[in-house]
Amino acid sequence: MKPSHAQLVQCSLGGGGVQLLGQGAGSVPKEAFARVLPEILPAVFGLLERGVLSVETVVRPLAGVAEAWVEPTSSGVRTVLVP
């Protein structure tokens, strides 16, 4: 079982810019999770194909992952690394 708490040193929070995010399989009901592959993903891909939904991306070479990692991007833009 994973711990339900974490201890942080004050100096790590003092500089700001720290963001804590959490996600786990337990945060999604099993019934909803079971629908992801057969229903939800095909529906999302259909929306993308029809142009109803779009994902803004910026493509970078995999060899430049270190530069891409620190490159500033606008909110909502996803970096895609290609071989």
Are 57 and 76 spatial neighbours (Cβ–Cβ below 8 Å)?
no
The yes-or-no verdict on residue 79 having pLDDT over 60 is yes
Instruction: Name the residue with higher pLDDT: 9 or 47.
Output: 47
CA atoms within 13 A on the CB side of 73: 16
Place of tokens 């029809």: 50
- Residue 39: its pLDDT value, please? 94
- Residue 14: its pLDDT value, please? 65
The alpha helices in the chain, defined as continuous H runs, are 10-14, 30-34, 41-49, 65-70
pLDDT digits 0-9 by tens, 13-36: 666 677 766 777 778 888 988 998
Are 58 and 38 spatial neighbours (Cβ–Cβ below 8 Å)?
no
What is the residue extent of each domain of the chain?
A: 28-82
> Each residue of 63-75: b (16+ CB within 10 Å) or e?
eeeeebeeeeeee
pLDDT digits 0-9 by tens, 53-73: 999 999 999 999 999 999 999
- Residue 2: its pLDDT value, please? 62
- Residue 27: its pLDDT value, please? 80
